[in-house]
C-alpha cells in the first residue's frame, strides 16, 4: 500500500498535469468534507435552546469560523499574484480555496439556524451564497469550457483570428469597388459593424440578431438569385466573401462566448466578495452594537 502511494506521488511530481480540483488526491476536498460533516453532525446532535440561531454557542463558533474563513478565502486574490510551488503552492491554495469555500455553504447555513429575514444578517448570507454560486459556476466553466475553446479556435490564436477578419474585410472592400452604390452600402454595413460589439447579452448568448454581414449576404442573395452565375461577376465574389466572413464571425463569436463565460463569473465573484466583506462587517458590528 505504502509503495503504491509513493509511486503515485512520484508520478504526480513528475509533471503529469493535475488540476487544482483533483490536486493532491482531493486533499482539500476531503478536509472540507470532514469539516462540513462534523458541523452537520454537531448541529443535529446538540439541542440548542430556545432554537438554533447565530446567538447560540454553536452559532458563535460557526460564525467565527465562517468569518475567518471568508477573510482567508479572499486572500486568494492577493496570493495568486505570487506563483510558487510546493506544499503551499498556488495550486494547493486554489484547491483549498475552492473546497473550503464550498464548505462555507454548510457552515454559514448552520450558523444562521435557518433564521432569515429582511435584514443585514440575511443580506450577508445572500451575498455569500452569490459569491459561492458564482465561484461554483467558475469551477464548472473552467473544467468544461477550455477544451471547447481550443476546439473552436482550430489552432489559431486570437491575433490570427483578428487578422483573418481584417483580411476578409480588405478583400470585401476591394471586391465591392466596382459595384453599384446600393450593393456597396450593404458591404460597407458589414465592414463598419464592430465584430466584437453587440453587448454583454450577445457575448454570453452568442446571438447577434442584427449581424450586418448576415443581413448583407441575405439581401444580396435575394436580389441576385435570378442572375446567371458567370463566375466573374463582382457580386458573386462579394457573396462568397460575405459567406466566408460569416463563418469566420461565427467562430470568433463562439470564441467570444466561451471566453465571456469563463470571465463573467469573476465580474460577480470579485465585486460580490467585497460587498460580502462589507455586509459581514456590518453584520458583526451590528450584533455587538445592539447586543
Partner 1 sequence: MTFIVRTVSRTADGRVIIRPTLVDKETIGIGRDATNDIHLADLAVEPFHAAFTRLPGGRVLAQTVGGLGFAVDGRSTKRAEIDANRGAELRFGGHLLTLAMEDGVATISVERTDALSDATGEKDERTVFSLAGLLPGKRLGAWTFLILILAACLAWPVYSWATWHDVKTRPVGFHADKMWSSGPLSQAHRALENNCQSCHEKAFVSVEDNKCVACHIGIHDHADPKRQINAMAPPNFGKRVQNGFKSVFGVPTGQRCVDCHTEHQGAGPMPATAQAFCTDCHATLKSRVTDTKLADVSDFGTAHPQFRPAIVTDSSGAAPIFRRVSLDASPIQSNGLKFPHGTHLSATNGVARMAQTMKSEQGWDNALACKDCHKPTSDGVRFQPVEMERDCQMCHSLAFDRIGGTVRTLRHGQPAQVVADLRAYFRSTGPVRPISLGGVERRRPGNYAASQTSGNYASGLRNYGGGADAAISAVFTKGGACYDCHVVDRTGDANSAGWRVRPVVQPTRFLQKGWFNHEAHKTDKCETCHKAATSETNSPIMLPGITTCRECHGGESSRADVPSSCAMCHSYHIDASAPWRAKRDVSRAKGQGRFVVPAGYLKGAVR
3-class DSSP state of 182: helix
Region of 21-29, 91-99, 137-145, 157-165 interacting with partner 1 (CB under 8 A): 157-165
Binding track, positions 175-204, relative to partner 1; x by CB under 8 A: -xxx-xx--xx-xx-xxxxxxxx-xx--x-
Least Cβ distance, residue 192 to partner 1 (angstroms): 6
Residue nearer to partner 1 on the CB measure, 35 or 216: 216
Binding track, positions 87-126, relative to partner 1; x by CB under 8 A: ----------------------------x-xxxxx-x---
Burial class (CB in 10 A: 0-12, 13-18, 19+), 258: buried
Residue nearer to partner 1 on the CB measure, 94 or 213: 213
Q: Where are the alpha helices (DSSP H) in 154-198?
A: 158-175, 181-192
| 137-155 b/e (C-beta count within 10 Å ≥ 16 → b) | ebbebbeebeeebeebbee
Chain positions 203 to 222 lying near partner 1, rule: CB under 8 A, are: 203
- Residue for grid cell 470568433: 252
Residue nearer to partner 1 on the CB measure, 171 or 224: 171
Chain positions 242 to 261 lying near partner 1, rule: CB under 8 A, are: 255-256, 259-260
Least Cβ distance, residue 187 to partner 1 (angstroms): 6
Residue 86 sits at φ, ψ, to 5 deg, of: 95, -160
* 152 touching partner 1, by CB under 8 A: no
Chain positions 14 to 33 lying near partner 1, rule: CB under 8 A, are: none
Binding-residue total with partner 1 (CB under 8 A)? 77
- Residue for grid cell 451564497: 129
Asked whether the beta carbons of 156 and 142 are under 8 A apart, the reply is no
Q: Of 65, 61, 128, 287, which is closest to residue 52 (Cα–Cα)?
A: 61
Chain positions 30 to 49 lying near partner 1, rule: CB under 8 A, are: 46-49
Amino acid at each position: 500500500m505504502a509503495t503504491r502511494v509513493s509511486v503515485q506521488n512520484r508520478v504526480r511530481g513528475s509533471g503529469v498535469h493535475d488540476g487544482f480540483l483533483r490536486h493532491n488526491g482531493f486533499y482539500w476536498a476531503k478536509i472540507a468534507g470532514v469539516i462540513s460533516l462534523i458541523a452537520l453532525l454537531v448541529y443535529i446532535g446538540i439541542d440548542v435552546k430556545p432554537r438554533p440561531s447565530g446567538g447560540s454557542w454553536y452559532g458563535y463558533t460557526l460564525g467565527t469560523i465562517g468569518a475567518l474563513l471568508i477573510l482567508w478565502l479572499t486572500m486568494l486574490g492577493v496570493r495568486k499574484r505570487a506563483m510558487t510551488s510546493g506544499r503551499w503552492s498556488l495550486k494547493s491554495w486554489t484547491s483549498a480555496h475552492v473546497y473550503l469555500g464550498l464548505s462555507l455553504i454548510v457552515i454559514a447555513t448552520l450558523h444562521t439556524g435557518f433564521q432569515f429575514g429582511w435584514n443585514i444578517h440575511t443580506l450577508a448570507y445572500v451575498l455569500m451564497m452569490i459569491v459561492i454560486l458564482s465561484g461554483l459556476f467558475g469551477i464548472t466553466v473552467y473544467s468544461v469550457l477550455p477544451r471547447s475553446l481550443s476546439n473552436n479556435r482550430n489552432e489559431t490564436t486570437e491575433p490570427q483570428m483578428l487578422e483573418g477578419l481584417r483580411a476578409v474585410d480588405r478583400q470585401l472592400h476591394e471586391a465591392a469597388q466596382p459595384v453599384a452604390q446600393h450593393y456597396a452600402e450593404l458591404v460597407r454595413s458589414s465592414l463598419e459593424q464592430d465584430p466584437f460589439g453587440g453587448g454583454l447579452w450577445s457575448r454570453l448568448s452568442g446571438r447577434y440578431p442584427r449581424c450586418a454581414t448576415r443581413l448583407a449576404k441575405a439581401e444580396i442573395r435575394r436580389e441576385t438569385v435570378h442572375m446567371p452565375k458567370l463566375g466573374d461577376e463582382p457580386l458573386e465574389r462579394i457573396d462568397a466573401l460575405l459567406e466566408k466572413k460569416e463563418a469566420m464571425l461565427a467562430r470568433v463569436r463562439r470564441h467570444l462566448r466561451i471566453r465571456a463565460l469563463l470571465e463573467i463569473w469573476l465580474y460577480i465573484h470579485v465585486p460580490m466578495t467585497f460587498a460580502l466583506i462589507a455586509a459581514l462587517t456590518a453584520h458583526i458590528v451590528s450584533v455587538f452594537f445592539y447586543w
